[in-house]
Chains A and B, each alone.
Chain A
Amino acid sequence: MAKTARIEVMDQNLAEALRNFLKAVLNREEISAVLAPRRLPMKNRVMPALITDPQQLDQADPLSPAFAVNSARLLSRLTRKPSGGQVAAVLRPCEIRAFVELVKLKQGRTDDVVIIGLDCLGAYSNRDYFRWATEPPEAATQKFSRAVLTGSGAAMDGVDLSPACKACESPTAEGADIAIGLFGVDTAKEIWVQARTAKGESLLGKLGFAEAPEPASRPKALEKLIAERIAYRDEMFQRTRAATETLEKLSTYLADCINCYNCRVACPVCYCRECVFVTDVFDHEPSQYLRWAEHRGAVKLPTDTLFYHLTRLAHMSTACVGCGQCSNACPNDLSLMELFRSVAHRTQAAFGYLAGRRIDEKPPLFEFRENEFPEVVGISRPSAG
């Protein structure tokens, strides 16, 4: 399959070429709306928007280093039940992966959505972005995208990509219906597009772009980028593990946590309607606090901090896609992404699972395998047929 095409970039204006592409998509009769990052009309900020008016797409800014929320959660709300129309969703790779996890958790459906994924240029943390985004928005995005795509790097004006993006070894849109290739492509002249599913191929075919092979320079460029990311990631794993390898160290690591639970609100795969930590299960009896205090002479308040993070690791680490929104959301700058990714890397490896990789791959807890982890359960036996 994998129909591929090229889109011409006029006047070296990459953003404009992308917007025109999105407009062409929205003009199709079967597409009711486009979900894409868009500049707010009232402030110089980029937030996801559901756009039905092609004119509004003039404000779409898919290359901006702003990443205020992971759109997977938003897309899941749009697709939980039939909406009566089809949405083209422009997502970062980590947003696609999170959406895939949510679909497996029955929190969204792929039926009424065409996912358009971009090679991800990365993003700044919210705080860095707010500091950095002072120039006119169009110029700022252009400066950023050129810097990244020409290889001079995203570090500029005292800000750099968020650690999550630096450690991201999956910057291409593997799970998209239509993937847009930027790395290793001469984006001054063209964009490379690839339909990765039958649905994507059907749509791309109707848009009438010229077929084109994958640019020769792309695989090498990606290989180099991913190698750098993996090196950063592995160093991060090592650092984080060293800082959290005992219960004491982990407590120290999380010492600044104030149980605000923002990290799970921001987490795209934390899908509970209401977190167990805000239910009556954790409404402790007053006498309980006294007993805790008596036990060691003092009890840290609020309680259940470590318990909360360990629980979230237990629940969500097999679904963690490494988007870094937890760190983004933390008011006290805890390095949560680093902790989650380090643990997730190992829990997912233990089950031979990779969050968001494939829609037809069952999450580990959905499957019962009788002869699993004999070293843990202490039973090993030859299988009888």
Chain B
Amino acid sequence: MKRRIGTAVVVGAGIAGIRAALDLAEYGYGVTLVDRAPHLGGILSQLDYQFPTDHCGMCRMLPLVQRDDASQHCLRRGLFHENIDIRLATEVTGIEGEPGKLRVTLKQQPLWVDPERCVGCGRCTPACPVEVSDAFNAGLTRRKAIYLPVPHSIPNAYVLDAAACTRCGACVQACPTDAIRMPEAERRKFHILVVDDELAVRDSLKEWLEAEGFSADMAGSGPEALDLLLAAPYHLMLLDIKMPGMDGVEVLDRAKQLSPELAVIMMTAYATVETAVGAMKIGAMDYLVKPFDVDSLIPKVVQVFQRIQAAEARQVETGAVLLCGGTAFYDPSSGKNPFGYGVERNVLTQIEFERLLSGTGPTAGRLTRLSDGRPVRRVAWIQCVGSRDVQTDADFCSNICCMVSVKEALLAKTRVEGDFEATIFYMDMRTFGKTFQRYRDVAEHQQGVRFIRSRPHSLVGDPASGGLALRWVDAAGACQAESFDMVVLAVGQRPAPVSAQLATQLGLPLNPWGFIEPEPFSMSRTRHPGIVIGGAFSGMKDIGEAVIQASAAAANISRVIHSAGGSLASEEPRLGGALPESLSREPPRILAVLCRCSRTADSRPPAEFFSRALRGDPAVAAVETIENLCTRDGREQLLTLVGKTNANRLLVGACLSYTYHRHLRELGPEAGLTASLVEAVDIAPWSDISGNDAAAGALVQLRSGVAKLKWVDPYPAPVIQVAPRALVVGGGIAGMTAALAIADHGYGVDLVEIGERLGGNLTWLRRTLEGHDVRALLEDTLTRVEKHPRILVHARSRVVQAHGEVGSFTTVIEGIENQVYHLKHGVAVLATGGTEAPAKEYAWGASPAVMTQSELERKLADGHLDAKGMEAVVMIQCVGSRQEPRNYCSRVCCAASLKQAFVLRELNPQLSVYVLYRDLMATGFMEAGFTRARQAGMIFIPYRLDRSPLVQPVDGGLTVTVEEPILQRMLRIDAQLVVLATGIVPVLPRELAEAYGAHLDADGFFQEADSKWRPVDSLKEGVFACGLALSPRSIPESIATAEAAAQRALRILGRERLATGKVVACVRHSLCSLCEQCIDACPYGARMLDADSERLLVNPAMCQGCGACAAVCPNNAAYLQGYPARQMLAMVDAAVGGAC
């Protein structure tokens, strides 16, 4: 593919990191994807099900065009892309330089198990005598010190937990491939200085450290320590704070001057924790609170040891860096711990519960009480544990926990046969995504999940029944108590530990809770132009939002790299895989290579057995055996053998065949074989599950491989041309942002706006709740659009017709004075926007004092509102919204009400403000605004949908009646202004969407290909949507969708030609009966009947090779190239044997 010279570093290989890395790689940049963990996937590796579909679906992130550049198997198991260099167990230790030319320092943790040699046989694990709690199962199970970090990765190399390892050497003995080395000698060379004025502390520390194999020296005072530091080098200093004479902070200060590289861990009493935190600002790495035991000390020491042991730090030169550093969570056992977490075994966090539901979890997915294994019948979820909680310094909402709890409740119901009761205790159910409210409604009304609006105050275990008694005060003030089998805590987010460090290093501002603050109106850009943030790192988000913001971040990164010249190509594009023309016509000559090593030799029949059996097929030219194929040596032997035998197909029989795919890919150019001409099968004796004896099992695998290679279709993938231009429909902030992002990469953009001028909803907005200036944003964006040489604005124009497909669309627009233009473009972005829903309720129209939010906004703007003359204003949320037929949250109205309330209060500080709401959607850091509003004495009254407030015009003013749930009385408010939050409706004409092959959802919004994994794409490739046409959103969120849509578009525009996937559907016209079943079956709209030629045509770029057409076609007239029927039948035959 087209490889550009620009590169990016993506830190964090969770969902956001993977999405951004793929986006950048698909555009042609080289990407270094780094993760601290030894595996990909971040938090997702622990989650098996995601709302609202309760499936996974992560694989939908894989490339859809130029598919053969990447792996096409389960993304949770692993990822491969030609342009992505994945570095696991690696940390970023420094970033410096200018945007476009940054130097990133990476350090890989020492690999005590060599992943190149580890074959994943697992013999080390039973040999290991050490057991510790397993972080993958959130501590619910135990694992050995040598272990698999996640059960599903491929390849899945074992990892040694150096902190837990006792260095007994048992695993080294058990390992058949000598993949493990012990950190014994290195530990002795690791020098630690313990500084404490108490002899008892010094003695016990020395004993503990030496028992772990480290070298430790003691100092009783600061000056003594400094003398020692002068005399000899140390790696680590454990430093007491409170010492007579020179205190720890001073010692630290001086020691850092002597030896800046020295790692220091402060030791402090509880009372001086603040001092220790202060010490970290001047260079201490960490601190320990006294008294501590050996188990809390050693891991910290080992961490420093590991870091120093880390392989030589390497520097990567790169254009820009995306930080997706993940998140930490609130520890519910800290503080007052009212829910007995860590004390009661049946009190879990959401992640722990998620592991409990997983097939790879502690109970293999069965829902039983952890205390006694008895079945679980009643589960309670408690929301906002460590979120929306000023006491734990968390005046923010963690965004996803409400939906996670609803999902877990529904999932749990499917796991329990018989009675099951799920109860969710909440403050506001924040169902603010497009489909979330309906998901909740299904849970509540169809699935019987109980929602209780209350915050339980205590939990007490009942040793007799093993149950948990939960107490709460209901809305009326009455005390309630019920017993549950299990209680799940929706624990809040905390900033990732590296946030503060990176912020200091890069001079980035942090918000009051320690999260990196993005630039105004951006979710991803920071003050440093070369540093972009994404994922949970910048605030918790669900998968869909993480994916959108990751693509948006990729767009922002790409812009930096592009402007530094990184878009230039470094290699000529290699399209469709060059293949000697003759090869497709040559009869197959298969070289079968069997790998042999010490582990397989004893349990496998001699090579002659396989040779005899396989040579029966004339297509098999040679059967050979190679020792240790997995080593570099083995691979070289293999190459020689391919040359010597003149084979044109290669079959490799080895263990863990997946590990070979990447190596086999590299074989291609060298041996003249493309990936499809090479097949690897797993013939390891332990992986046969057929119940055959090992030899028969291996033979079945090999014969299937022969069958596959024999009938493989070696033709290269088809290629289509791309028109390097984009069409953006809609000139609001989303449309303009998308147009700019695309045009900034050098591609022409036609921006079609139906109205007189650009700007959309921004033309009537002034400020955001956070106080950012919307008009300045609009002015700035308008100027950039109007001055951009590559953007052509078509105002007062509308799309009248469109046809075509990815790479080549033609759109007909009608402009001023019915002038018609034909526009050619490779991609289309629909940004037609949305508008405030019309008000019908609450005496709107009957009284001028009842107005919608936008009406108020306009009145405030032109100064026509006499706020001073008012005594009270009532704001009613969710007017006609979050109920059928408009059963979705519009996301912006709660923020708008808070903002307008503050504006009105500024105009009239005496004004009483009443906000009548159902669930206040003050998501994320907006929560602080909600808190501020309550502190300012604004009154928030929740109402139920079946008891909506009543608004009556009474001579000049208005009377609002609403039931106050705490007083349990009707409240009458005499107001001079009632503001209705009616929400957002999309403006996306069905004909327009369908002209581009896109569809609308039930509410008229753009239907995404997948709400989680492809949130701005249409199922039809090359068509994207952003802004309010996609879903209700705030300005920064709309901008993020626009940037994401632009990035998705750039993947396509970035190539002159698109190689489609090798596996695409085709038609044998001579067999085709034109029944058109395949057209109906195709989910991607890639098939059409050409009436003129009376033929069925397939668009190879839109086809995703799913095979639905081949499945419905009865006579194979529709078939998948790359999966010929004869090949499939031959493979099945080889597997089961015998004809019928």
The residues of A with any CB-CB pair to B shorter than 8 Å are 105-107, 251, 271-276, 279-281, 287-288, 290-292, 295-296, 299-300, 303-307, 315-316, 362-363, 365-368, 379-385
Contact = CB atoms under 8 A, between A and B. Distances in A.
9 contacts: A271-B1073, A272-B1115, A276-B1115, A279-B1115, A287-B618, A295-B1137, A362-B1080, A366-B1081, A382-B410
Contacts of A300: 1139
Given A279-B1116, A281-B1116, A281-B1129, A299 B1138 contact: yes
Interface size class of B (residues with CB under 8 A): 35 or more
B1139 A303 contact: yes
B53 interface: yes
Contact of A382 (B443, B1072, B1083, B1115): B443
A379 B1081 CA distance: 21
B1083 A368 contact: yes
* Interface of chain B, main secondary structure: loop
B53 A381 contact: yes
Given A274-B1071, A276-B1114, A281-B1126, 7 more contacts: A106-B1075, A107-B1075, A275-B1115, A306-B1140, A315-B1114, A368-B1081, A381-B414
B616 A281 contact: no
Contacts of B410: 381-382
Given A106-B1076, A274-B1115, A296 B1129 contact: no
A367 B1071 contact: no
Nearest to B411: A381
A368 B410 CA distance: 25
A287 B442 contact: no
Contacts of B1072: 273
Most buried by A among B617, B618, B1114, B1129: B1114
B574 interface: no
Interface string B1095-1118: 000000000000000001011110
B1071 A279 contact: yes
Interface in B419-449: 435, 438-439, 441-443, 446-447
Interface in B868-895: 887
A381 B54 contact: yes
B442 A383 contact: yes
Contacts of B1112: 365-366
Contact of A295 (B1002, B1075, B1080, B1138): B1138
Given A273-B1073, A292-B1139, A385 B435 contact: yes
A281 B1129 CA distance: 9
Contacts of B1083: 368
Contact of A281 (B1002, B1070, B1125): B1125
B148 to A, nearest CB: 26
B1074 interface: yes
Contacts of A380: 414
Interface in B52-86: 52-55
A275 B1115 CA distance: 6
A156 to B, nearest CB: 40
A280 B1115 CA distance: 11
A171 to B, nearest CB: 29
Contacts of A274: 1070-1071, 1115
Q: Lowest 5 A-B CB distances belong to which pairs? A: A385-B438, A272-B1115, A303-B1139, A315-B1114, A276-B1115
A385 B52 CA distance: 10
B368 interface: no
* Interface of chain A, main secondary structure: loop
B1126 A384 contact: no
B1138 A365 contact: no
Contacts of A251: 1140
Nearest to A380: B414
Nearest to B438: A385
Contacts of A273: 1070-1073, 1115, 1117
Nearest to B49: A381
Contacts of A381: 53-55, 410, 414
Contacts of A280: 1126
A307 B447 contact: no
B713 interface: no
B1139 A299 contact: yes
Contact of B1116 (A276, A288, A379): A276
A107 B1073 contact: yes
B1133 interface: yes
Contact of B1133 (A275, A288, A362): A288
Nearest to B51: A384
A363 B1078 CA distance: 12
A114 B618 CA distance: 59
A360 to B, nearest CB: 14
B1077 interface: yes
Contacts of B1070: 273-274
Contacts of A296: 1137-1138
A106 B1074 contact: yes
